[in-house]
A and B are shown apart, each in its own frame.
Chain A
């Protein structure tokens, strides 16, 4: 490598002699810059998704590598968002992969002062037992005026506006079949 080549790699030289006199473009480029690659470039696949925050419904591209989500960006194809995301939408990677996500079932027994661990299968079984009991304890065939109501006031549910339509459908279907009527979500709040 001659002196000329070495000198040509010196940004100051390039700034003084090249077209990029402000030193904010080609003159500032280094080998390290050239080696930089976007996280999206090494993704195994791109999965089409929708932003989970507000109801504008911006398109998202979810980049997956080795079975892990590595980046989430706006989807330029979306006629709604045209590739843009707001501060919340741009933080979706942190929302979905950040350390604040709990991944284990926690249990607080009556009058307990701390959380305890519980396996998912046991928890689901305990919850099913409790629903059956609360449903029966709060059951009404008729109300206090003798009108047929076929329902339970024993348990209630709140939530759904952050969930999928299919999830709301199964929740409404199951809880209604159980006779529950106190089924609500953020739409009333």
Chain B
């Protein structure tokens, strides 16, 4: 955090100054470790075992927050008799179909609850389920509100937590083998260090104290990435650290609006506000879509209002009750259409055109060579950026030109480079890592041809619509299918423009996102959205950001004039709420768990919830509220259903639906690992997503022939002085001077073992490629004792590429595209590799070196593809 989010880290230091203990768990010693009370180095790719060990400690030593757990979690819920755990089946859950490499989730359900998980999947044929599953359905709903029951909910519970099939007892059995000895064997963390972590975390949780977990892509970029976060969620929920001040699991994100681009998603599987994109198998019409995706209870129960309001925002007058509000205008998914799948579609010649909007996959995406080979197959490529990044110039000077794999003259791709406007040259909002929308105002007009992406999208749409509406153009280009073009032609696409370049008014777009009532007045909350088409709203969770016609994201009352919550700076979704699930900050009766950790409380005399934040639900709902039995949606929530997005109102220690790789996290080794899995016969995540054979080479893992060829583990990371794939840092003299060259971090022991010299060169090799880096020999990298062997890890900052002021090989050349099956993210945080002294070969010899390694390791099309 001190490295990549230094200004946010000031609050960790403030907490430390007031007595907080800071623990840093990371394979490398960084600036964060330097400021921490305790640095815990561990093997990259072993965090589930580490967190699982903490969960076991909490359960076995009765350190959980019992009242919180009973009131707000599903600990007491009884699970179906058919469920079998990884502990029973040597590393897989019940329902695994080895042929299809997919789970049937029906046995994971709550007892007596009609499962539909992730909502509706069970009604389908197995092959239909695979396709829906492939479409990243787990990500819909953002906060995880998959359905648990189709009918009126009568979930069986045992409040004594003794029933052998209650979630609590299942958890105990599941984590029983994650002992301190196991943690030591898998993670390389000595038992005394682990005991210290257990003690610090449990002593700092409960009524009087809260503990926060902060993570970044070190947890997500794995073939079990989602389950890493699930493990943390189980731990934090058991300790009562969710929904309370000083608690939580906080994702630190690395781009100014990466949260915003998930909320208003430029993502294949989502519509704005985490509404799922319709799927061909379950989205034939509006009713079928809503039947499949809506849950009965909680705020997802009003999905019809959210979706119809979105369709009204997009298709305006054309959208009405008689035509399903233009639902059929939406394209349908049939599986995974994520970015790595798109690269394969480019190689297959299916995807012919590509827009890169402030993104540099030739450096920043896994298996960078595959990214460039995909682009070389395109008809056209549009790159919008500040400078000539590698993704714009690979056809001229990319690594494949050097190796002779590609020849510039043979590449048919037409490339347009369009200069982009900077944030100072346009107005708009970023959503930061804490869901806070902050407006930046335009200071000056962009120079030359530089334009905002708002202008680009608006102008492109304007031109396409004009062409499609022109009979002569249609005639000339043989465009005879009018129905195909109706969604474009009927689109609401009329924004006021301003300034020298005719830039669209960003506030007008924000107003559309916020939504309007039938009279065109701005809405102030998503609770006002209606299912009948009388309201419009471009993103339901952002409804209220333009309340009263005022740009709430541009509120700038100085922090010094506000309380510590600072509710009048910017605007947080939903409803300007700063801590989610804040009902859990008070006990079931509405009293704060302790005065020290007070946040919201029920004020009986005023019959209202009071406190410094916006309460999770109607502030007049008393703690003892019982909904009528036939209530649905938010009205079905009781006064103690703190987890208002969940279909049972509870935090899920056990996830009966929503995840495709198990209701509980289990330790699996990375796709490529020098170690076996000591816990289970099942080595890796059995349902991880692999590309079809022929596009990617995987390495053997421990126990397989050739694994010793790649004995080390590389992990990629970022530096304070550079930004992601370098487009916003490698062209700046200041930042390039601060971090002038690509390097690899190795321990003195590894340097001795492989003859690496400090400041000399090293070549790092995987089955994909070989890269060279300057060697930084440092005690910051500590060899770890894992399964009775010494493991050396190698740190690789991934910012570099061949262009810019400071140049170097891209770490992503080494990475493969085995993906997490829930969200299709790549595993770049734990890569088995080899390292040797000296520079890498040039030209054709580079590919020959990689071929030689593949031969030595016996790698073929099937290597690493076993379930």
Contact = CB atoms under 8 A, between A and B. Distances in A.
A89 B734 CA distance: 11
Given A100-B732, A165-B263, A55 B252 contact: yes
Of the four ranges (under 10, 10 to 19, 20 to 34, 35 or more), the interface on chain A belongs to 35 or more
Contacts of A94: 732-735
Contacts of B823: 188
Interface stretch (A3-11, A19-27, A31-39, A155-163): A155-163
A51 B256 CA distance: 7
B333 A153 contact: no
B34 interface: no
A25 to B, nearest CB: 29
Interface string A37-55: 0000000000111111111
B519 interface: no
B666 interface: no
Contacts of A82: 10, 559
Interface string B426-450: 1011111110111111111101111
A29 interface: no
A101 B449 CA distance: 11
Nearest to A158: B359
Chief secondary structure at chain A's binding surface: mixed
B284 interface: yes
Contacts of B412: 110-111
Given A159-B355, A163-B257, A49 B463 contact: no
Contacts of B447: 101, 103
B352 interface: yes
Contacts of A184: 266-268, 338-339, 342
Nearest to B563: A79
Contacts of A130: 353, 379-380, 414
Contacts of B559: 77-80, 82
A171 B357 contact: yes
A137 B804 CA distance: 36
B724 to A, nearest CB: 7
Interface string A89-125: 1111011101011111111111101110011100111
B266 A47 contact: no
A131 interface: yes
A163 B357 contact: yes
Interface string A146-180: 01111111111111111111111111111011111
Contacts of A52: 256, 422-423, 430, 728
B351 interface: yes
Contacts of A155: 351-355
Interface string A59-100: 110101001110010001111111011111111101110101
A1 interface: no
A136 B468 CA distance: 12
Contacts, number: 478
A54 to B, nearest CB: 5
A115 B417 contact: yes
Given A57-B430, A111-B410, A178 B721 contact: no
B448 A98 contact: no
B76 to A, nearest CB: 35
B723 A103 contact: no
Given A103-B448, A127-B416, A168-B261, A176 B357 contact: no
A158 B371 CA distance: 12
A18 interface: no
Contacts of A102: 385-388, 417, 419, 450
B437 A165 contact: yes
Interface residues of B, number: 164
Nearest to B501: A120
A118 B468 CA distance: 24
Contacts of A157: 266, 354-357
B488 A84 contact: no
Nearest to B364: A189
A74 B501 CA distance: 29
Nearest to B484: A139
B425 interface: yes
B719 to A, nearest CB: 9
B819 to A, nearest CB: 9
Contacts of A189: 339, 361, 364-366, 825-826
Given A156-B342, A163-B358, A101 B487 contact: no
A178 B281 CA distance: 21
Contact of B351 (A59, A67, A79, A156): A156
A69 B447 CA distance: 12
A22 B231 CA distance: 58
Contacts of A55: 5, 252-259, 430, 432-433
Given A102-B388, A132-B464, A69 B424 contact: yes
A162 B256 contact: yes
Nearest to A63: B443
Nearest to B411: A111
Contacts of A173: 314, 491, 538
Contacts of B439: 48, 50
Interface string B549-593: 000001010111010001001100000000000000000000000
Contact of B266 (A77, A81, A183): A183
B84 interface: no
Contacts of A174: 457, 460-461, 464, 491, 493
21 contacts: A54-B254, A77-B559, A79-B558, A80-B559, A86-B720, A87-B721, A94-B732, A110-B413, A111-B409, A130-B414, A131-B460, A147-B280, A152-B331, A155-B353, A156-B355, A167-B452, A174-B457, A176-B330, A181-B268, A181-B333, A187-B258
Given A101-B422, A165-B260, 11 more contacts: A48-B441, A55-B430, A55-B432, A87-B738, A111-B410, A148-B284, A149-B280, A150-B331, A164-B426, A168-B261, A182-B341
9 closest cross-chain pairs (CB), A and B: A79-B559, A164-B428, A103-B448, A159-B357, A57-B432, A151-B331, A160-B266, A155-B353, A100-B731
